[in-house]
Structure 1
């Protein structure tokens, strides 16, 4: 029981933060768009007006980190897949923005940040700028994909997917397990996170599920993978053919 009680405050904080993000989804989307526009401005400014000044470079670097950090924070609570895509995208965008402020100093790359010099740009300079631009827009595409997966996954679904109402009806007959808040009778035993009771192959795929189906004290419940369940009286329901867990998908219609 001590293990279950110690995990309760963490679960409460996590649930509270997730609820706050859920209530402000529209605001987060607007802020993400503003952050992307500012990052685009920083990229254009660095590519068009190259100035090698340490103070300016440090300011741009810090400002870019704040912007990409906010974008990632608005995505990370939505799941593993959009988070991984987002972090790859923001790293590419950040690196593309600061690259013009830290040019190579070897003989192949003349100091093209110095003003008032009358020499034509070498192929190495052009290649560096093209690479910076390609990295930025590749990162921008990955960030856009992660935002779509996180907030509007329906845009990526097939047209003949089941309607949301039909999908919800399948799971509406199962009660949701509320981390030992609603107990049957006088049951009282040690609790553990649901995913800690799963097999190793299940934990690799747990990001797919919003809830998994499990029998608790003989009654079928929908259980959050991070939720607390009785150690001895929890039995997960599996598909007879594949042996995989049965549960409500986090992205209905996208993953079978």
Structure 2
């Protein structure tokens, strides 16, 4: 590490181009379980890989939709937390120089205002609140439950699938390309609440480093990124961001 907290705060304040990558740790404080921790009750007999794949959907679309509908209900009941609102505030400060890429599919960043403050938000793995027409590819918001019928149909009468990147599928090319460009151009990258093991998202911070930028990590646990970060804060997402940004 080549920065202390004071230097990191100064660098973040001065930076015109800031790129952020978030993972499940950002939403943990909103009560949303991680992908694997969500396997409780009736779903405990399934591995996530048994449900989140094209093969699983082809074999039993109703079962897969039942699982996703439950997760959708959970995220609708959750609220953005302090970390989400602080990132929206950081975007407001940086404007067009701010870029947020999230691996989360809960939509909480957008609900907190990210992507609407002058910067850009991309959801690398999709969004539980959206579904995609299997024939046309059109992406549409799901109706709020309970009137949600499964599997949902598009206005064109076609079955829709969850707008989620499944195991064995590639990330959306445009979203990934935008993230790679933003991290290459960033003076400072923040990596928050992500294990740093799921690629290609895990490689984004290295693009910043190779281009001469600094990387700050916020995570309660050590990750593969920790030895290479300019500063690694062993904190929750909200506490780490409060330390960097100062209390509002």
Establish whether TM, by shorter chain, passes 0.5: no
Specify which structure has the higher proportion of helix.
Answer: 1
Larger Rg: 1
**TM category, shorter:** under 0.3
Tell me the TM-score normalised to structure 1 length. Answer: 0.27
